[in-house]
Structure 1
C-alpha cells in the first residue's frame, strides 16, 4: 500500500486543535474510577456555551455550533492550531508524563532511561555537536559522487531524509505479501508548490528557507554559508519541478509501479545508484514499488548534474535538521524557528518535557502504550465501542443495499468486503518487543540514532515473512483513527474514545454524531475514491462495473467542485480533488452514522433534550468535534499538504444531508443552502 496507514481522520497525531470547555486540564479522563450519570460536556454531551446563536445555521453551521468558542479560545503559544483533538492530545501527554516520571530514575527501565536522556539538557549542551561530528565528517569527506549511494544508505537507516523515502508495506495487488516501496524525495520544503508558486507568500517562505539553511551551516562551523545555501536551494527547485503533484501521488493506481531489482537501473544514475542502495539496505529486497517513476528518473539526472559539494551540503543540512531535536538548543531552536514558526506560525516550542514524551513514544511506543492502555482504557469502553462499530457497519450494509446507482454484482462484493473487515479498538492484542535496542540514560543523540536504526531493521525484517496483521499503525495514546486498505481494517486508538467524541454518559445522538461519524468516516474510506479500488480481499483490483465507476465519478466531481469553491484564506481555496477522499469520508460517515442512530432507537421516537430534537443534537455532536482555531501560516501550509479540508468546511458537509435541512430549517438564499438536486449523494 502507499502508506502503512492508508487513511486517517487527521493528518498527524497532534495537529488538531481546543476549547475553553475542553482545555488540557479540563479534558475528561476515561478511567474506570469515574462514576455518576452526568456527561462530561454540558447537559447532554454538547457544550452549549460555545454556540453563537446569532449565526443562522443555514449561513454557517460551524459558526452557529462553535462561534463563541472560536472567538473566546486563544491558541497557546506552543501550538500552530488548537481545538478538541489537541485538548485530548495534551491530556494524553500529561498522562504519559505521569507514567514516565514514575520510572525516569529507574535505571532498569528502558522507557525511563530514554525519557531521562531527553530531559538531561545539561548533558546535551555540554556535548554540543560532538555526537554528530563523526557522521558530518564522513559526509564532508566524500570526494567522489559514486560514494553518494553509500551515504544515502547509512543516512536512511539513521532517519535522515534523502532523495527518496523507502518503507516496507503490503503489496497493493498481493496484500498477503510485503514489498519495499519507494517515494519521491530530495526537497526540504514540505510541498513542491513552495518552490514553484510565484506569489508573495511563497517567495517569503523561499527567502526564509535559504536563510535557515545558511544559519544551520554557520552553526555547524561551515564557511561561505549563504552561497552554499543558495546552491542547495537551486538544486532542490529543479527537483521540485520533476516531482509529482500530491493529487497524482495520492492515486493508488498511478503509484502502483512494480519493478524487479534488475529493472531498477533505469531509474539510476552514476550518483543515485538505486540498485546499489537497495542491495545495501537489505538482501531481502527482490522487487520494489516505485510510486513516481518519472520523478525518480528526473531526480537521478539532477543529482548527476549537481556539484559534489552541493550534494554534501544538502546531506549535511538534512542531517542537522533531521536530528536537531537531539542536539543543543542553538541547532534545535533554529530548526523550530523555520519549520515551526515560519511554516506553521507557532511562536514557541513545546516544553522540554512534552518533547521528551514525544521522543520516548517514538522510540518505545508500544512499551509506553501498554502502560497507558492498562491505566486509562477500561474494558467497558472497549465493549461499548465495539457495539457502536457493529451498528455503523450494519448501517453501511443497508446503505449499500439501497443504492440505486450500484449494480447488483458490485453490491454483493461490497457487502462481502464489509464482512471481511477487522475492527481494532483501544490497543493491540500483541505488543512489540524492543529486546536488542540499547538505551542509555546519558546519551540522547545515540539513543535517537540507535532507535531509528532499530526501527528500520525491524521494518526490513518483514520482507519475506507473513503479514503482521496484529500490528497497529498508531499508539493507544494517539488521538486519531485510521483505515488500512490492505489489512481490511478500521482502527480506533484509546485516546480518541473520550468526550467530545465518545462519552457513555452523553446523549446517544451526540455520541453517534461524534464517534459514530468517525467510525463511519473510517469505514467509508474503504469505499472512497482510493479505497474503492481495493476489493474484498484488500487487493488493488478493478471490481466495479463501468456503470458504477461512472456514477461514482459523477458524484465525486460534484463534491470536488463544492470544496473548490471554499475560500479558506483570502485568495486561497480548498483543493477539492486533493481532499476528495476525506470529504467523501465525512459525507459518507455522517450519513451512515445517522442511519445507525435511527436504527438504534428501535422504532421509538427520541425525546427532546435541552430544547433540541434528536436530529439537532446529532448534528451538533458532529460540529463540536471540529472546533479548532488555526494560525494563518498553519492553515496556509495545510491547504497545500493536508488531504483533509479545514475544520469549518468539514462541519459544512451537513449541507448535503436532507435530515439536516429538516432539523435546522435553512432557507433558500442562505450560504449553505443547496437545492435538493444539488446536494451530493454518494453512499
Structure 2
C-alpha cells in the first residue's frame, strides 16, 4: 500500500470537502489562496517551493505541539474541531447501549476523565503485569507474548492478514521484521551525536517507566541497558528500507511446519493457536533471517530481560491513557524525534486515539453532516480525466514495446476508484466501550482490530473494504486490489468551499498530488510488478523492464543528491516509489488540465495565468515546514521525501515547468535534459 501524504504520525484526521463549510455572507469574498502567500523575493526558477509557499511559511511558525506545520495540519485541526463537537454531543446524549453515539460518547467521557485516570493509576494493567511476572521459561514467555499480542502489545512478532501477493483472491498470514521500539534500524547503528543522544534518552525512558511501575531503580537501569542491547541485535538483522522495496525478495511462502523449524524457539503452534490461526497450512514470511535471529535471542537472552521488555512495552502502549506522568515522560522522549516542544491537549490526543479505535464509526456520523454529493462527482470525474491522460501517455511512449503497452492499458482501466466514503460500513457491534476506563477501551479497541484482521483467514477477500476513514487527510493505492482509495478529506482546501476553487488549482492540488500520484503508484518500481488483478506477476518483457530500471535509476541519483539537513540526505532508493508517483501525478494532471475550458480560455486569476496556477496548486498541496528533528527522522525512516523536494525535485523533470516559468540553464531549478527523469 502506498500513501500520498505523510505528517509523521497524523495519518488519521481531516476535514471533509470544503463545499460543506458554512456559506460566507454576500459581503465576503475569499482571497485567492495561490497569489496571497507567494514569496515574491524568490524566483520560481530558483526555488519553486519557496516561491509558492514562502509567504505563508514566514507568517505561520510551527506551533509548539507540532513537528510540522502546513496545509495538512490546518485540515486536520479543522476536522478535529468538528469531531470534538460530535463527541460532546454523543457524551451528553446518553444513547442506548451498542449505538454509535453510545460508543463515541463513552470513549470520550472515559478519556477526558483525568481525575478517574489518576485515581486508577496502573491498576488497569495489573492483570497483565501478573502474567508477565509469572513467566519462567521460553514456553511461558511465548505464551505471554501471544496473550499481549491479542491486546495490541506485539513487541517482537509482526503478524497480519492480507491478500496473498501472488494470489490476490486469497487471504494469507504474513510475518514481517519487527521488534524495534525506535522507528528505524539506523537509529541503533548510527554513531552521530543526534542518534547517540536519542539512544541514551530511550534507555532513560525504559529505566523511568520500569522504576515508576515499581521496579527497583538499580534493576531498572540494568534491564534498560540489556533491552537496548537486545534491540540492537535485532536491528543488525533488519533489512534496510531500500531492500524492503523488492516484493519478490520479501516474499517467502512456506509450510507452517517449515516456520517451526526455521524459528524453533518461538513456539509458533502455541502462538498461532492463541490468535485462532492454528489451522493454517502455509504462511508468507518477509524476512526469514529476522525470525531465525529472534528465535536464537529468545533462547539466549535472560528471561528477566524479556520480562522487563514486556513490562516496558505494555506501559508504553497505554501511556497516554495512564496517569499524566507516563504520558509526559513518553512525550519528553518522542520530542527528540519530532521537535515538538509542547504536548497536544488532552482532547486532541483523545480524538487521535479514537480514530484508531473506531474511526469508521465516527465517519458514519461525520458524512451525515459534512459530505457534499456535487463535490464527490467532481473528483470522480477528475479520476477519469487523469486515467484518460495516462492512456494517451502510455500509447505515446517511445521506449516501451507495444505488447507491454497493451498490458499496461489493461491494468490502467482495471484500477478501481473509491471516492469519498465506503458503500458498506464496518460492523462495530462487538466492540465494547465503557465510560469508566480509558485503558480498557484502548485494550478493547486493539483486541477488536486484531480479531477483525485474523477473522479474514479462510474467508473470501473483501475488495470493497476501505483501510482509511472518510475524514482522513490521506489516500492510497493498494496493489493487491489494484485500486485507488481517495477519502473525502484529502481534497479539502481549508477555509474554502469546493465551488470556490478553480480547475487550475484543483487539477494541481488534487489531480496531480493525489489522484495522478496514486494511479502512478500502480506503475512505480513496486506497483508495476503487480498485474491488473493484483497479483505479483511480471507482465513486462525483459527489454522494457531494463529500460524502466535504467530510467528509474536517473531519479534515484537525482534524489540521492538532495541534502535535507546537516549530513542527512534523501535515500533515493527508499523513496523511489513516491518520487515516481509525484512526477507521474504532475505530468498526468497537466495533461488533463490542458483539456479544460479554463486552460483554453487562459484568463488570469490573481495575476496568475491558468498554467501558473496549476503548478502553484500542486505546490499548495505540499505547503509545509518542519522542525529539524522531524526532518532528520523523515530522512531516516520515511518513504516520502520532505515536502520541499516533492515539489522542486519532480518539477526539474517537467518540460512544461521550464516553459511556463522561463527556467534557464543558469537557474538553480534547471537540469539538462540528459539528467531529467523520463519514465511515464
TM range (shorter): over 0.9
SS of aligned partner of 2:418: strand
Partners of 2:360 and 2:347 in 1: CA distance: 19
Distance change in 2, residues 1:451/1:285 (3 Å): farther
The answer for the alignment partner of 1:277 in structure 2 is 271
Deviation at 1:567, TM superposition (A): 0.4
The answer for the alignment partner of 2:99 in structure 1 is none
SS of aligned partner of 1:248: helix
SS of aligned partner of 1:160: coil
The answer for the alignment partner of 1:234 in structure 2 is 229
The answer for the alignment partner of 2:210 in structure 1 is 217
Deviation at 1:16, TM superposition (A): 8.4
Structure 1 residue 504 corresponds to structure 2 residue 491:
no
- Out of 566, 570, 575, the residue aligned to residue 574 of structure 1 is 570
SS of aligned partner of 2:199: helix
Contact 2:19 2:497 in 1 (8 A): no
- Out of 634, 639, 646, the residue aligned to residue 642 of structure 2 is 646
Q: Deviations over 1:148-170 (max 9, x none)?
A: 11111111111113212111111
Contact 1:39 1:503 in 2 (8 A): no
Deviation at 1:612, TM superposition (A): 1.9
The answer for the alignment partner of 1:34 in structure 2 is 23
The answer for the alignment partner of 1:20 in structure 2 is none
SS of aligned partner of 1:575: coil
Partners of 2:30 and 2:457 in 1: CA distance: 47
What RMSD over aligned residues (CA atoms) do the two structures have, in Å?
2.2
Deviation at 1:505, TM superposition (A): 2.2
Contact 1:16 1:86 in 2 (8 A): no
SS of aligned partner of 1:349: coil
Contact 2:65 2:341 in 1 (8 A): yes
Which stretch of structure 1 is more off in the superposition, 468-477 or 246-255? 246-255
Count of residues paired in the alignment: 668
Deviation at 1:35, TM superposition (A): 6.8
Partners of 2:559 and 2:668 in 1: CA distance: 14
Q: Deviations over 1:443-477 (max 9, x none)?
A: 11111111211211111111111111121110111
Partners of 1:600 and 1:319 in 2: CA distance: 55
Contact 2:363 2:470 in 1 (8 A): yes
Contact 2:71 2:621 in 1 (8 A): yes
Partners of 2:471 and 2:95 in 1: CA distance: 24
Contact 2:554 2:677 in 1 (8 A): yes
Partners of 1:355 and 1:219 in 2: CA distance: 22
Partners of 2:44 and 2:21 in 1: CA distance: 38
Structure 1 residue 190 corresponds to structure 2 residue 144:
no
Partners of 2:254 and 2:317 in 1: CA distance: 30
Contact 2:18 2:497 in 1 (8 A): no
SS of aligned partner of 1:455: helix
Which stretch of structure 1 is more off in the superposition, 248-257 or 404-413? 248-257
Partners of 2:11 and 2:35 in 1: CA distance: 21
Partners of 2:58 and 2:354 in 1: CA distance: 35
Deviation at 1:295, TM superposition (A): 1.6
The answer for the alignment partner of 2:509 in structure 1 is 514
Which stretch of structure 1 is more off in the superposition, 138-147 or 202-211? 138-147
Contact 2:34 2:617 in 1 (8 A): no
Distance change in 2, residues 1:146/1:84 (3 Å): same
Structure 1 residue 102 corresponds to structure 2 residue 96:
no
Structure 1 residue 668 corresponds to structure 2 residue 665:
yes
The answer for the alignment partner of 2:54 in structure 1 is 67
Correspondences of 1:470-481 after superposition (within 5 Å): 470-481=464-475
SS of aligned partner of 2:535: coil
Distance change in 2, residues 1:219/1:475 (3 Å): same
Distance change in 2, residues 1:620/1:16 (3 Å): farther
The answer for the alignment partner of 2:451 in structure 1 is 457
The answer for the alignment partner of 2:142 in structure 1 is 149
The answer for the alignment partner of 1:21 in structure 2 is none
- Out of 51, 55, 58, the residue aligned to residue 42 of structure 2 is 55
Correspondences of 1:380-391 after superposition (within 5 Å): 380-391=374-385
Distance change in 2, residues 1:502/1:244 (3 Å): farther
- Out of 280, 283, 286, the residue aligned to residue 288 of structure 1 is 283
The answer for the alignment partner of 2:535 in structure 1 is 539
Contact 2:35 2:607 in 1 (8 A): no
Distance change in 2, residues 1:257/1:11 (3 Å): farther
Which stretch of structure 1 is more off in the superposition, 197-206 or 668-677? 668-677
Partners of 1:309 and 1:248 in 2: CA distance: 34
Correspondences of 1:189-208 after superposition (within 5 Å): 189-208=182-201
Partners of 1:416 and 1:72 in 2: CA distance: 48
Q: Deviations over 1:471-516 (max 9, x none)?
A: 1110111101111111111111111221169933222111111101
Superposition TM-score, scaled by structure 2 size: 0.95
Structure 1 residue 353 corresponds to structure 2 residue 347:
yes
Structure 1 residue 585 corresponds to structure 2 residue 577:
no
Q: Deviations over 1:516-569 (max 9, x none)?
A: 111000000000010000011110011101111111111111001111111010
Partners of 1:603 and 1:657 in 2: CA distance: 18
Distance change in 2, residues 1:648/1:408 (3 Å): same
The answer for the alignment partner of 2:324 in structure 1 is 329
Contact 1:39 1:505 in 2 (8 A): no
Partners of 1:469 and 1:356 in 2: CA distance: 31
The answer for the alignment partner of 2:679 in structure 1 is 682
Partners of 1:303 and 1:38 in 2: CA distance: 70
Distance change in 2, residues 1:38/1:644 (3 Å): farther
SS of aligned partner of 1:52: coil
Distance change in 2, residues 1:549/1:42 (3 Å): farther
Contact 1:66 1:627 in 2 (8 A): yes
Distance change in 2, residues 1:265/1:14 (3 Å): closer
SS of aligned partner of 2:440: helix
- Out of 561, 564, 572, the residue aligned to residue 557 of structure 2 is 561
The answer for the alignment partner of 1:400 in structure 2 is 394
SS of aligned partner of 1:583: helix
Contact 2:517 2:581 in 1 (8 A): yes
Partners of 1:331 and 1:361 in 2: CA distance: 21
Superposition TM-score, scaled by structure 1 size: 0.94
Correspondences of 1:53-132 after superposition (within 5 Å): 53-105=40-92, 106-108=94-96, 109-132=102-125
The answer for the alignment partner of 1:3 in structure 2 is none
Give unpaired runs (5+ residues) of structure 2.
Answer: 97-101
Distance change in 2, residues 1:40/1:676 (3 Å): farther
The answer for the alignment partner of 1:446 in structure 2 is 440
SS of aligned partner of 1:249: helix
Deviation at 1:269, TM superposition (A): 3.2
Q: Deviations over 1:64-102 (max 9, x none)?
A: 111122222111111111110111011111111111110
Correspondences of 1:13-32 after superposition (within 5 Å): 15=10, 29-31=18-20
The answer for the alignment partner of 1:618 in structure 2 is 614
Partners of 1:426 and 1:141 in 2: CA distance: 49
Partners of 1:433 and 1:204 in 2: CA distance: 45
Q: Deviations over 1:642-676 (max 9, x none)?
A: 10000000111211100000100112122110112
Distance change in 2, residues 1:597/1:38 (3 Å): farther
